[in-house]
Homo-oligomer: A and B are copies of this chain.
Amino acid sequence: MNGAESLVRTLVDSGVEVCFTNPGTSEMHFVAALDRVDGMRCVLGLFEGVVTGAADGYGRMAGKPASTLLHLGPGLGNGLANLHNAKKANTPIVNIVGQHATYHIQYDAPLNSDIVGIARPVSGWVKQSPSSRTVALDGALSVAAAMEPPGQIATLILPADTAWEDCDGPVAPVEPLKHGIPSKDAVVAAAKALKEAKRGMLMVSGAGLQERGLRAAGRIAAATGAELVTETFYSRMRRGAGLVDIAKLPYFAEDVVETMKGVDVLVTAGAKPPVAFFAYPGKPSWLTPDDCRIQQLAAVEQDVTVGLEALADELDAPAEPVGVQAAGRPELPTGDLSAGSAGNTVAALLPENAIVSDESATSGLASYILMAGAEPFDHLQLTGGSIGQGIPLATGAAVACPDRKVVCLHGDGGAMYTVQALWTQARENLDVVNVIFANRSYAILNIELMRVGAENPGPKALSMLDLSNPDLDWVHLAQGMGVEASRSVTAEEFNDQFADAVKSKGPRLIEVVI
């Protein structure tokens, strides 16, 4: 058995079932080994940002890592932005990067680069395996490292000769570190702080945003009157009717400051106190009021859900939470199509137990608010701010959850970065409806240009934020990659097209011209 096969067998034995890949010559033995081992599904992406974004979507939904397979340093580079987003989402990923044969690196062939150097900024764990006899154990270690709470990117660099040389076979899985449990002291201190608060706030994120954690948070609110908030950009939240609804903090720093004015106690559970997304001249970066006491209930590396339940119990909180979302769907809109009306449509027709991959940016407010009363669904966001995550994320989520409808809400500017993901959706026949909000602009930048105090922007500056001239034609782009597509220019058209897409199976794209 060669090293590649020992690695694939070890990965499968360790629970890795999917490999998202864009391989090259140095990865050919790994690719060949995939046919000799049962239990590993291979999904090809035509660009590495698709691969890493899909691995993120898979990991968020499956709660365990997929592996990637990338071609040397440049392939890793192409995947870096979505690895950055995955890092900020604490998603477990086994990130496998091919490398030249160990003895070949010294010759500095054209594809040679400092792979460890490129990997380190996005990885919690990096190792270049030195030998075919070590790759199986390194593979097992990489899975355990990826699963180390709260989840991280474990980059395993695989020199070609470690894949093709003989070895001793696979190794047994390595048990990952377990979540720590918040200490009794932390629970008691949080309870005391919230009870003493004039205006208490409980900020929940990470794994605390699933049904149990939300319920406990709602009980804490019932017991203490604490306001419940979460991060502006969380990795995954269970939302919908019957669930405790937690508001996310606003995007703009001054709105966060306004939201937190008068908060004298902030208890965090799997969340960090809010900071400004960007710095702006004369505006604060740190957004918690200066005199606010910050009490950590649970670090993101700890079991946030257990922490929240312990806090609710410590407070003798009522069994029933407050803040439970009532059921309710908006009416289907008519007339002009806008981001708002499209949000109405999405909220009115969202299928039960959908997965929403949301990179709708400036177009997303209406859908975000109005979806709250739908049947429960999972809501995934852009965590690291690097646009171009949403379509790959939807792609990976659909691979993880083949029986659920995935709805991807995306701004047109961001969607272009990793547009190649549509082809993977077509090839794998994934059940994804991609809704592209075509405002033909980096709309957020038109706002930010003013906010940073850049005075009197001229035509050159404005043209750098403008995506018209020429307009992108999303129907053509999708059809070019084998995805059925349509364009909506009225609310009625979008109602019909979205309704048809959610009741069909397979990938679809709808360009919403706003």
Contact = CB atoms under 8 A, between A and B. Distances in A.
Contacts of A343: none
A21 to B, nearest CB: 6
Interface stretch (A96-104, A181-189, A215-223): A96-104
Contact of A121 (B83, B85, B113, B445): B113
Given A445-B23, A471-B482, A480-B473, A463 B103 contact: no
A465 to B, nearest CB: 8
Interface stretch (A348-356, A414-422, A495-503): A414-422
Nearest to A452: B28
Given A77-B80, A385-B74, A427-B469, A277 B47 contact: no
Given A75-B386, A110-B233, A32 B445 contact: no
Interface string A419-459: 11001001100000000000000001100110011111111
Copies in the complex: 2
Nearest to A164: B281
Contacts of A465: 31
A278 B461 contact: no
A262 interface: no
Interface string A70-102: 001111011011011100100000000000110
Nearest to A413: B46
Contact of A476 (B25, B164, B445, B480): B480
Given A277-B111, A474-B480, A464 B80 contact: no
Interface stretch (A34-42, A203-211, A291-299): A34-42
Contact of A470 (B277, B278, B473, B482): B482
B457 A104 contact: no
Nearest to A389: B74
A37 to B, nearest CB: 9
A122 interface: yes
A279 interface: yes
Given A32-B457, A452-B28, A279 B101 contact: yes
Contact of A25 (B161, B413, B445, B474): B445
A405 B231 CA distance: 51
Contacts of A419: 419-420
A482 B469 CA distance: 8
Interface in A371-425: 383-386, 388, 413, 416-417, 419-420, 423
A57 interface: no
B109 A278 contact: yes
Contacts of A117: 117, 120-121
A467 B464 CA distance: 33
Contacts of A470: 423, 426-427, 481-482
A469 B275 CA distance: 46
Given A46-B467, A481-B477, A109 B276 contact: yes
Contacts of A281: 161, 164
A34 B460 contact: yes
Contacts of A460: 31, 34-35, 42
Contacts of A134: none
B88 A81 contact: no
Given A118-B80, A164-B453, A476-B480, A461 B32 contact: yes
A300 to B, nearest CB: 13
A74 B452 CA distance: 21
A436 to B, nearest CB: 11
A29 B150 CA distance: 37
Most chain B beta carbons < 10 A, residue from A85, A413, A423: A423
B28 A448 contact: yes
A259 interface: no
A285 interface: yes
A77 to B, nearest CB: 3
16 contacts: A24-B445, A28-B449, A36-B458, A74-B81, A74-B84, A78-B386, A80-B118, A104-B276, A108-B272, A111-B384, A111-B385, A114-B120, A118-B118, A161-B279, A423-B470, A477-B480
* Closest 3 pairs between A and B when the two form their complex, measured CB to CB: A35-B458, A470-B482, A77-B80
Given A25-B278, A109-B285, 11 more contacts: A29-B454, A34-B460, A35-B460, A46-B416, A72-B386, A77-B386, A78-B78, A80-B80, A104-B285, A470-B482, A475-B480
